Amino acid sequence: MARGVYAVGRPELTRYGRWMAAVLACGPGAVLSHKTAAALWGIFHERSVPIEVAVPVTSGRRCPGVRIHRREKLSPSDVTSHWGIPVMNVALTLIDLACSLDRAQLERAINEADRVDLIDPSALRAALDAYAGRPGVARLRELLDRRTFRLTDSDLERRFLLLVSQVGLPLPLTRQRLNGFRVDFFWPDLRLVVETDGLRYHRTPSQQARDQVRDQAHLAAGFTPLRFTHEQVRYEEEYVRSTLRAVARRLEAERTPAMAEDRATPP
């Protein structure tokens, strides 16, 4: 691949071999970075990009087929090794991705890093403080703040009830027990149950399983369960209003013929 870098005993290189060869060819202090680092970590899967390597700013190395990023300073904690290949740590990799990926791609990368237990959003948010001022940090922080932000129960209730009043629904009962579970918001006449989930990221399988059991219990008893995330209540108010409005209208339409039928049935 480059002068002084050889593959011994193999007719062709795997992509891991090509990545290692690129690092070696770029000289001392070189590490995989950006999208190639993300591919090595398994959090970004686009393969049609050039190999990206970070080198010290003092390095004059050039390597055909390799996109080189010169860095002013890399501390020992910035660099690690994965599959034996020197690479930027996961937090720095995601910071670099924030400079080049669109929002959906960046969210997928964060989700994937969380899913494979490389770093969770709260830990990533805390890690950004050490890299203040670096390109990508502000964009990543803004995205993470939306995801790790959590309303207190009282603030959440206040915000959600404001949205309910804007839709024109009557105020629900709060913190009631129904079908063996405490529910957040309950409209008995509509047989509607609304729950507000916690963090969008990093909800464990056991938490998700419990939520499914709750929803199934309500459905089996003839109620309609509906879930909103804290993020939706805080940042996506119009979506919450339109969804509440549509579900309430459907339930009211289903309820009216049933009430008329009950009135028409002789005692």
pLDDT (tens digit per residue) in 90-105? 999 999 999 999 888 8
**Residue spans per domain, the chain:** 15-148, 153-264
Global model pTM greater than 0.75: no
3.20.20.70, 3.40.50.2000, 3.40.640.10, 3.40.960.10: which CATH number matches 153-264? 3.40.960.10
pLDDT at 9: 56
Strand 85-88 to strand 51-56: parallel, antiparallel, or no bridges (unpaired)? Answer: unpaired
Q: Please answer whether residues 38 and 97 qualify as being in contact, where contact means their C-beta atoms are separated by less than 8 angstroms.
A: yes
pLDDT at 255: 80
Q: What percent of the chain has pLDDT over 70?
A: 84
Q: What residues form DSSP beta bridges with 192?
A: 187, 224
Residues 126 and 228: their CA atoms lie apart, in Å, by 26
Would you place residue 260 in the very low, low, confident or very high pLDDT band (cuts 50, 70, 90)? very low
C-alpha distances in angstroms, 113 versus 40, 45, 100, 202?
12, 12, 17, 10
Would you place residue 152 in the very low, low, confident or very high pLDDT band (cuts 50, 70, 90)? low
Mean pLDDT over all residues of the chain?
Answer: 84
Q: What is the pLDDT of residues 111-136, one digit of tens each?
A: 889 888 899 888 898 899 999 889 99
pLDDT at 40 over 90: yes
Strand 224-229 to strand 192-197: parallel, antiparallel, or no bridges (unpaired)? Answer: parallel
Taking residues 12-35, what's their average pLDDT? 88
Dihedral pair phi/psi, residue 204, rounded to 5°: -75, 160
pLDDT at 201: 47
pLDDT at 64: 75
**86 conformational bin, left if phi > 0, alpha if psi -120 to 50, beta if neither:** beta
Would you place residue 162 in the very low, low, confident or very high pLDDT band (cuts 50, 70, 90)? very high
Q: What is the pLDDT of residues 167-226, one digit of tens each?
A: 999 999 988 899 999 999 999 999 999 998 755 444 567 777 888 899 999 999 999 999
Residues 191 and 109: their CA atoms lie apart, in Å, by 39
pLDDT at 146 over 50: yes
